[in-house]
Chains A and B, each alone.
Chain A
């Protein structure tokens, strides 16, 4: 049986199922800090980020991971179809105080299994990939 999307169309490996660009600002980081409880100051204080040797205030890795997965939820129809989701945090997303940061997510079919589909997420900021091996296994 070929797994199908919630809309019933057949899938092919390599097909883009969803994509979006999210514009992050310092406000986004403060909002995520409050919602998640992660108040590490490297996510909102330039002085602390500089002191510990970072290139600037960084987005929470879990914010990038979270917004990346949400890119496919509308396509899935039901977030409960997600069986597994994993990422490696490979590069930081530096969020400029004035200009923010644009994070782009492209979700492609990576593999089709008997009862599941692996969706591979390519997440980029300023032309480089920021998450490694970002894969979501979803129930077919």
Chain B
């Protein structure tokens, strides 16, 4: 099965709210070798004007991933995880993610184009707080290999 072109424009429900925990931010910071105090020490983050520790920029992927799981879960997607390669990733921020945020991601498949035997699938997850205010848009390009 090849990638289903009808995924473009399909409606996905918003993901359930993801509550960003302080210890999760610290754990992620440690994992990406982020040693700056704003990621670890609430007082340092507050000195910069934030309510709590500031997540490293790529933490948005954790929330985006919940939305991408919706795509992989579509029975007719034609996307098999073992043939999927992450080709490109972009983030566009209105503000950084901070511990205490409750975030919702809305997924949209924006483009599918043939690539060799497979396809390049571009998707956008618009991540907002529960009040609906934009926080970050995460864009992924996935290369889905064709079947042998």
* A22, B32: Cα distance in complex, Å: 10
11 A-B contacts (beta carbon < 8 Å):
A31-B30, A32-B31, A38-B65, A61-B89, A63-B32, A66-B56, A69-B58, A70-B34, A80-B54, A82-B93, A89-B86
Sorted nearest first, the 9 A-B pairs with minimum C-beta distance are A66-B32, A86-B90, A35-B31, A66-B58, A70-B34, A80-B96, A32-B31, A35-B28, A67-B33
Within 8 A of A (CB), among B1-59: 24, 27-28, 30-36, 38-39, 48, 50, 54, 56-58
B56 touches A79 (CB 8 A): yes
Residues of A near any B CB (own CB < 8 A): 22, 28, 31-32, 34-38, 40, 52, 61-63, 65-67, 69-70, 73-74, 77-80, 82-89
Beyond the given pairs A70-B34, A79-B36, A86-B91, 6 more chain A to chain B contacts, judged by CB atoms under 8 angstroms and listed by A's residue number, are A34-B27, A61-B89, A62-B58, A63-B32, A79-B54, A85-B91
Q: Which residue of A lies closest to B38 (CB)?
A: A79
Within 8 A of A (CB), among B72-130: 81-82, 85-93, 95-96
B34 touches A36 (CB 8 A): no
B33 touches A22 (CB 8 A): yes
A62 touches B86 (CB 8 A): yes
B131 proximity list for chain A (CB < 8 A): none
* A88, B141: Cα distance in complex, Å: 9
Residue in B24, B34, B58 with the greatest tally of chain A CB atoms within 10 Å:
B58
* A62, B68: Cα distance in complex, Å: 15
- Chain A interface mostly: helix
B88 proximity list for chain A (CB < 8 A): 86-89
* A88, B39: Cα distance in complex, Å: 25
Q: Which residue of A lies closest to B50 (CB)?
A: A80
B91 proximity list for chain A (CB < 8 A): 84-86
Nearest CB of A to B68, in Å: 11
B39 proximity list for chain A (CB < 8 A): 73, 79
A73 proximity list for chain B (CB < 8 A): 34, 36, 38-39, 56
B32 touches A79 (CB 8 A): no
* A86, B141: Cα distance in complex, Å: 11
* A86, B54: Cα distance in complex, Å: 19
B92 proximity list for chain A (CB < 8 A): 83-84
Nearest CB of B to A60, in Å: 9
Contacts A63-B32, A88-B87 given: A82-B96 contact, CB under 8 Å? yes
A52 proximity list for chain B (CB < 8 A): 82
